[in-house]
Every structure is written in C-alpha cells, then in structure tokens.
Structure 1
C-alpha cells in the first residue's frame, strides 16, 4: 500500500481509510473468510523484545479477516471488510474507544490508526488453503457474535501475556495464577490475547486441530506454513510498493521504470509485458498461449531487469535481480494454476 506521507503526518484517518479501501479492492477479492492478518510492528522497542523473547519470529499481532457481506445485511458494518481480533482498540465511526474483550473492527479504519501510531509496520495476509464450508462459515459467525455478546473473555495485560504464554505447559507453576492472574486462578481460561483468540476461533470451526494448545501459539504460528496445513504459502503483502526497472533494448536510452502497489501486481505486470509483445507479433490471433519456458526466454533476452521493493522496517527499497523475479513468477503462476 502506498499512503501519502502527508496523510500520516496529519493523522488524517478518513483520507487514509479511503486510500486503503481503494487499494484493497483487487487484493482482498482473492481472499476468503478466515484468512489471517499478521502485523509486524518494527518500531516499538517493547514489541521487538516481545518478538525476540517469546514469538521467535517476525510478527507481533494476528487477526481474522472477514470479507464484506460476511455479517447479516442488518448490521452496519456488513458492507466493508472486517477484522475479528483480541485488540482493546475498537474503532467506531467518529472515535476510538477501548473494550475489555474481543471485538470486530473495520479493517481499513483499524489499519489507518495503526499506520499513524506505527508508521513503519508491516502488514501481511495469509489465505486459507481451502475456503470455509457453508457450515464453517455459519459456525464462525455464531462464534464471533456469541463471544462478543457474552463478554466472558478478557484481555491479558502486558505482564500477564508472557506469563500465560511461557507457563502454558508448566502445570507446576500454575500455583502462581492466584497472584498474577487474579482470584482463584480461574482467570487463566478467561484471559485471551491475539494469537490465542485466532487459534480458538479456528479450532471452534474445525480448521485447526483441537490438540493445539491455544495458549502456546503466537502470531508467527500462522506465518509458518510448515506448522500446519491450513494456510497458503503465499503472503499477500499490504505494504510492499514495488518498482520494476527495465531496459528492454540494448540502448541505454530505453531504460524505464514502472511502479506497482504490490509485489504480485509487479510480477503480473511483467507477464503482461510478454503477452503484449505476443499480441503485437500475432495481431490476428485471437487466443494467445505460452508456457513458462517461453516467458523465461523472453525475460532472459531482456538486457536488464530488476525490481525495488519497499521494506518498512528500514524505510528503504530493497533490490532484487532477474533470477529472483523469475522464481517469484514461477510461484505465482503455480498458485494461479491451482
């Protein structure tokens, strides 16, 4: 996503939200209910320490993505993509309030606030390998509404979270629950955090195994495809502005660049370049087909091809060469073929 710097500096939430929604349209249309949003807040020292000490990975927050129209039409938020998450910040139409338990959030508005407070964060969505069945979708809807209505689940404090996570498999330490978590120690089962809520949600609808310990998961559990067979390997980057640098001829004067809103859009754009060339050389052929070897031969013949991908954590662009581009195109085409 490319958000004008002045919008962030002015904390112009409505404009950022509108900008996000216009960029989300194509990307989010290919996602299913139950996809997981992962956020890496690379700026705050406490989240970096938490990630290094407990998460052992890249991401610090997780939420469940819900397509627009997932809720019943009578509900106000049914027309926009939502997030189901264990975050205390509930973003309403005109203000930000804090709730004591899991809640639904407008995705664009939540991310607009997040970008203002943490401008160098990274946003990734990982889709489910198989779309939810109608029964699973119904169960997910009921589970969310019931959890919100009953208000029996509370958030952990920043101190309680690492304690619950680290001691989830250490029964001999649970005698400390009375002191750390609250009266009678029964609060452990009622306290939640982002990855625990996402795990419990997926377990409830049968997407994840009941054997998984929800208290021992973290956002990176959903980022590692080898941990489970639930999510696609592909990551939909929400903040990877990409610039393709190309010299299509041996003349240096032919050098040019094209910018795209995401890595996938850039890869598709490179494929479209080849398709455009085929159409120009076969103007009377209605249906033009090609295989990967022909596409790669075309790319190999280009004198110079590379790309620059924006990396929020360093606030700069990272370069990638032609071989990297070819490998990513191969992965993209395989996913599209499925």
Structure 2
C-alpha cells in the first residue's frame, strides 16, 4: 500500500465512522498540512455524484431515501473535514522534538543493478517495476531509463533490487511472482527463470512474497542462515543481517524452512524463527508480521531496541540510547508508518517510561 492509497483509506474509514483514534490523529495532521486536499475534493465529488436522484418507481422510493440519507451523512462528515482544512491553524511546533526538527516517513525509493554493473535509480513517483519478456518496465508500461549502450537483461543474468533506509518498492519477477520490499532490503534474482530447475532468489532484509504456482519448479528464497522452499504461496521473510533471528511467517499455502540439517513445514498462521541453526515454530497473528506492507507499525509487547531498529530503517535515522537497560522496555500499540517520526515518538512517550530528542537525523532515547 503506497501513501496515496493509505490516505484514501483513512478518508474512507473516517466517513464510515470506523477510524481509530490513532487514524483520526494522523488524518488531522494530513489535513492541516494540506496533503490530502485533492483526495478530499475527489471524495466530495464522488459522494455528491452518488447522491444524485433519477426518476425511480414508487416501490423503490424507500430504498432510495435510505441511500440519500447515507449520502447526506457522508457529505456532512466530509464537510466537517473541509471546514477543518479551510480554517486550519498553523501547525503547533512547540514540543521539544519538533523544535529540534522533525523527520518525514519513507516512501518509494529503490535502485536496480543490472547484469553489466549499471545501477538505475527507480522513479520515486512509481511503486512497482516488472521484468517482462526480458524488458524492464514500470507497472504503467513505461520503460526504465537505462543509459545508451547498456545491454538489456537477458538469459539468466542476475539483477539486484535494493531499497535504502527510508525506502520501499515492489517487483514482479519473470514468473509473475510479486514481491514487496521493506526498507534497507536487497533482493537478487535472475532476469528469467526459463530453463532453470528452480526459481531461486536471495534476500537480505524484509520482503513479502506472493509466489506464482509452478509444480514443476519450486520457488526458493535464500536468506541469512536459512532456505525457504515453496511451490506457490504467500509469506513474509524478516532476515536483516543486524538481527540475531530470521523470521518466516506464512499467510497462505505451505512452506518448508531449512537451516543446516534442520527442517520445518509451516502451516498458515505459523512463524518459523531461525537462530544459530535452530528452528522454532509458533502460532502468530500474521497481520502483525505484514503490517509494514499495509502502512502500520504494530507492536505487541515489543522491546524498545526492536522498535527503534524499525524506526531507524523507515525514517533513515541514527538511534542512540542513554543506557542499555532502556532497550528492554516493552510497548504495545499501532502507529501509522506515514506519520512523521515525532508522532510515533509521542505515542511512546505517553507511557511515561521514555523520552526522545531529535537532532538532525539523530534520535536520542532517554529515561523519562
């Protein structure tokens, strides 16, 4: 889910009266910063268009009345938001964190390294690149800008898709498999799977896979200390080199996770945790594992060291701690990944356990 889709979902949830308190706060900030003006306008126009009445038989008048009543409710809700952003006050920057500067969230950023060594910076206004018939194109059909004389990726040559800290991107592999890359992630894959016995890719970082089924050629993901083998399924792999454990979470189908001589077959809603060639499995809520893909940080009794690792990758910041003890403080909650970093840190400060200082792109974590 990209930022535009996330914002549209926020507006829909607000008008349907299903937005959480956290989502309402995020929407309020977006309105005040004029980041959703076009979406609000489009939503208003759609709502009015849907409420226009045509001549209908008498027996449908009651149903029509209910539709019109619902439309009026939506229009009133949107009008309230319209009032907010037409009469918005300057954003309050009085807190300590904001006074020292704030940091925006990440977005669509990635590079693609070709077989000849050329590195192509991908368009930040797009979110997905496809390997299609030995050609590299965006999902709108436009081709990547490759320097004159560069050789197009052909038979079995390796490509490397990399997202920096603060970046995310999607790729559709030659077999149609879809992959979403989280921040600070690298995916190596061949430009074609034809005439190969298996469809093998290498991952460092975190990615969500929707693998196209092919019973004749297994799909293999090689990552830190483990190998995952599937035929066609949906799963998430969390394999950052600076973390002790590699986690594989299954959402659909089945996968085999191997580490050394050990093997585990995962069922839906199970997670394999690989650490020093040991494999442990547990039943989990898979939506937590893929919350990054849907636009959220979800913490479930997660320690501050792990939380701030995620923050450093997504906001491209350096984090330091006042002492080691503070890293073990645990938190639970849900925060939008599209909020500024100060909004997330304020949520953590509400626990009265920690405080934060932002200086440039550095965050200092202290006891409160």
What TM-score does the superposition give when structure 2 sets the normalisation length? Answer: 0.25
Flag the structure with higher strand content. 2
What TM-score does the superposition give when structure 1 sets the normalisation length? Answer: 0.27
Flag the structure with higher helix content. 1
Higher relative contact order (CA 8 A, sep 6+): 1
